[in-house]
Amino acid sequence: MIIGPNLDDKNLVSSVTGKDHHGQINKLDVIEERPLSIYLNSQEIVTAMTIGDHPKYLALGFLKNQKLIKENEKISGIDYDEETRAVVVRTEKESNYEQKIKKKIRTSGCAVGTVFGDMMESIEEIVLPESKIKISWLYDLAKEINQMNSLYLEVGAIHGTVLCCKNKPLVYMEDVGRHNAVDKVAGWLFSTKTNPNDKILYTTGRLTSEMVVKCANMGIPVLVSRSGFTAWGVELAKLTNMTLIGRLRGNRFICLSGDKRLDYDTEIKTKN
């Protein structure tokens, strides 16, 4: 795996004390939650609550997914100031962010997600590329990701998003909000110019409209979760030709969109 949760980063976790059901005092590690201000050139766009790792990826992914930065936009620099907890993404040309900020839509994302109007409107122009997904890949990913060392297993109260290729996890990001975790993956994807056409995006969170739109804007044709769906999320997945798979646990799942990509390979068939 290229990037995974950094369990050695002590800044991500704090130790607190409390009493348990026996009245005994116990120490407990809990995840940190800090504000991060994201700027586009000289304009502050949003302040997000985040665990604090990979701030540059989070900022770039957020701005890209919100369509505040165009696909062919040239990034002249990304600066992070740890003291003020601010990230400034600089572009060679000014953006028309003023008009876009006026068209905000509040979503069902954890910690109150916000998307801009252009992000939702762009979904109608997206048709994701065709690809094949072997069922065995999904089962391998479910097993490996569930057993992988993570902040979730250490302290809980956190979401994870994993960028995968076939049955291999490539980039694993975590955060208090699932949309933040996705934006970190998006920031890595955009900054490394990685081809999304053959990738799978796995998330621990619900498959909502926001998750589908972000995945589609990233150009990833397959979105998978161990959780469930929303009706609008399913409709948007169908609109973009996205394969949407939920309730992936063990050797079970349900696909509500894009089942033509699924390859029920022989090895798995003989096991069922």
With H, G, I as helix, E, B as strand and everything else as coil, classify residue 93.
coil
> With 80 as the cut, is the pLDDT of residue 88 above it?
yes
Tell me what pLDDT residue 29 has.
93
Tell me what pLDDT residue 111 has.
45
Q: Report how far Cα 233 is from the mean position of its chain's Cα atoms.
A: 15
> With 90 as the cut, is the pLDDT of residue 103 above it?
no
Tell me what pLDDT residue 207 has.
97
pTM: 0.89
Instruction: Kindly list the distances between the CA atom of residue 76 and the CA atoms of 82, 93, 183, 191, 202, in Å, as whole numbers in the listed order.
Output: 20, 9, 20, 12, 31
Select the more confidently predicted residue: 113 or 77: 77
The domain segmentation of the chain, as residue ranges, is 34-122, 133-271
Paired residues of 39 in beta bridges: 44, 88
Tell me what pLDDT residue 146 has.
92
Mean pLDDT value of segment 196-208: 96
Tell me what pLDDT residue 124 has.
79
Mean pLDDT value of segment 176-185: 95
Q: Assess if CATH 3.10.20.10 describes domain 34-122.
A: yes
pLDDT tens by residue, 15-53: 999 999 999 999 999 999 999 999 999 999 999 999 999
What span, in angstroms and rounded, lies between the C-alpha atoms of 212 and 234?
Answer: 8
What span, in angstroms and rounded, lies between the C-alpha atoms of 135 and 243?
Answer: 13
Burial-class residue 23 by CB neighbours within 10 Å (0-12, 13-18, 19+): exposed
Q: How many CB atoms lie within 10 A of CB 229?
A: 21
What is the torsional sign of CA 138, 215, 247, 147? positive
Q: What is the mean pLDDT of the chain?
A: 89
> With 70 as the cut, is the pLDDT of residue 107 above it?
no
pLDDT tier at 272, thresholds 50, 70, 90: very low
> With 70 as the cut, is the pLDDT of residue 172 above it?
yes
The CATH number assigned to the domain with range 133-271 reads: 3.40.140.10
> With 80 as the cut, is the pLDDT of residue 169 above it?
yes
> With 70 as the cut, is the pLDDT of residue 98 above it?
no
In this predicted structure, which of 78-82, 102-106, 211-215 has the lowest mean pLDDT?
Answer: 102-106
pLDDT tier at 112, thresholds 50, 70, 90: very low
> With 50 as the cut, is the pLDDT of residue 108 above it?
no
- Which position has the token pair 């969109």? 257
Tell me what pLDDT residue 192 has.
95
